[in-house]
Amino acid sequence: MVQSRIEDLSPVVKKVSVELAPDRVKDALDTAYTSVSRTVKLKGYRQGHVPRRLVERYFGDDVKKDVAQKLVTGSIHEALANHKLDPVAPPRVENGSVEAGQPFKYTATVEVRPKVEPKDYEGLSAPKAEVEVKDAEIDERIEEMRKEHAMFVPVEGRDVAELGDYASCDYEGFIDGAPLRGAKREGVLLEVVPGSLLENKAEALLGARIGEAREIGVTFPADYAVEDLRGKEARFQVAVKGLKKREVPALDDAFVQDLGGESKTLSDLRAKLRSEMEQQRKERAEHEQREKLLEALVAKNPIEAPPALVERNVDAMLQGMLEGFMRRGLDPRQLGLNFDRMRDELRQRALLEVKGYLLLEAIAEKEKLEASEEDLDKHFAKMAAELKQPAEKLKAAFRRQDSLESLKARLRQDKALAFLLAKANFT
């Protein structure tokens, strides 16, 4: 029998004090010492025949630590169940000492979900979803595509750099006369326009001849990715090896066909771009609506969030950012990132999301919203279309990983959010 009492440290943090009877401690010690006696070897005694008093003398401290851990493991779940506590993270345990003939006492600090009674969640303010795409925006995107597919061709008839040229250069950077690691490059195209060498721009090369070398100063910005270089002054030795100009392809059906893909005419391309831009704008608008709704919901329903859930959400956000870097071909290890600062910057947003999730769950329960099998089928059908895999295969993978319940919870929250949107005031 486990004796325990609970103390509220906050709405989401509980302290459970547990006491186990001396008989249970004695049984655990006897079992542990018997197990050690079977394997221990001491000079003058055969294995398995070492007197217990000697086992206690030489191995007592280790045995008591092991017994304390086993007593906690064997009783903590019963103690939590007695108080109907469902931890959101492993309890933080402070062990007492194990002594024969004495009760064993320990405390466990447990984080739990708060009791939430949502109110005033109908009629929340949310921004309207503006998804209209103007013709001028499509024109601008097509012009960007033309520039992206521009060809660099050698400048003919002159060897002096003019504004708008692209100089093919070799360069090396120095700080205080010492070479800057990773700042030696060959065959880099620098645009001869105002701007920083860090952006591959170099107005300082205006008038430079092919074969000429010039020195260009660079100040690294205060928010530069590599922390050690922030605010530092560097000098770059830049040698011009050639001059090129950028030729943009003509805007016609041939350009569209050169892009590849399904579009064959300018009309096809414009329709495709309009559809894509409207979808992107819709997704951004829905994200903004969700954020604003959660902010309004939390403002009307102040609750405390378990710190462990917040940190878990920070971990997920940080992991998403790192995966985003890698998808863009960037190695996060080479970016000089300050992870502690990044976590601090993400924490407030993570806190809002956790509070929002807890409130959405409570609203779903209050409004009797459930994720049905039909909802699951629609979700897997959408995933299947995006990943080009059979829906049943995806569902089976979720089932194998015991992830269906967490997916249902997420779909249930989505339904609660849709409920709030249906009742919202759009501004």
pLDDT (0 to 100) of residue 89: 92
pLDDT band per the 50, 70, 90 thresholds, residue 370: very high
pLDDT (0 to 100) of residue 326: 84
280: nearest Cα among 272, 319, 257, 126: 272
pLDDT band per the 50, 70, 90 thresholds, residue 190: very high
Distance CA 230, CA 220 (A): 5
Both structure tokens of 352: 């809002």
70 CB burial (10 A radius; 0-12, 13-18, 19+): middle
Give buried/exposed letters for 83-99 (b at 16+ CB in 10 A, else e): eebebbeebebebbebe
State whether residue 248 is helix, strand or coil.
coil
Q: What is the rounded average pLDDT of the residues 237-247?
A: 95
Asked if the model's pLDDT at residue 43 lies above 90, the reply is no
- Contact partners, residue 391, CB within 8 Å, separation at least 6: 377, 380, 381, 383, 384
pLDDT (0 to 100) of residue 422: 92
Both structure tokens of 16: 């459970």
Supply φ then ψ for residue 179, to 5 degrees: -60, 140
pLDDT (0 to 100) of residue 51: 81
Contact predicate 124/424, CB 8 Å? yes
Both structure tokens of 332: 């996060």
pLDDT (0 to 100) of residue 13: 95
Candidate from 42-46, 128-132, 407-411 with smallest mean pLDDT: 42-46
Per-residue pLDDT tens over the stretch 295-307: 999 999 999 999 9
- 368 backbone φψ class: left, alpha, beta (φ>0; ψ -120 to 50): left
Question: What average pLDDT does the chain have?
Answer: 91
Asked if the model's pLDDT at residue 226 lies above 90, the reply is no
The model's pTM:
0.67
Per-residue pLDDT tens over the stretch 116-125: 999 999 999 9
255 CB burial (10 A radius; 0-12, 13-18, 19+): middle
250: DSSP letter: P
pLDDT (0 to 100) of residue 365: 94
Asked if the model's pLDDT at residue 399 lies above 90, the reply is no
Both structure tokens of 414: 């989505």
- Cβ neighbours of 328 (radius 10 Å): 7
Distance CA 121, CA 143 (A): 45
371: nearest Cα among 427, 344, 425, 410: 410
pLDDT (0 to 100) of residue 91: 94
Per-residue pLDDT tens over the stretch 77-96: 999 999 999 999 999 999 88
Asked if the model's pLDDT at residue 140 lies above 90, the reply is yes
Asked if the model's pLDDT at residue 47 lies above 80, the reply is no
Position 288: which residue type? E
Q: What is the rounded average pLDDT of the residues 248-256?
A: 92
pLDDT band per the 50, 70, 90 thresholds, residue 192: very high
Query: Hey, what domains does the chain have and what are their CATH numbers?
Result: 3-111 (3.30.70.1050), 151-247 (3.10.50.40), 271-426 (1.10.3120.10)
Q: Are strands 166-175 and 233-247 parallel, antiparallel or unpaired?
A: antiparallel
pLDDT (0 to 100) of residue 128: 87
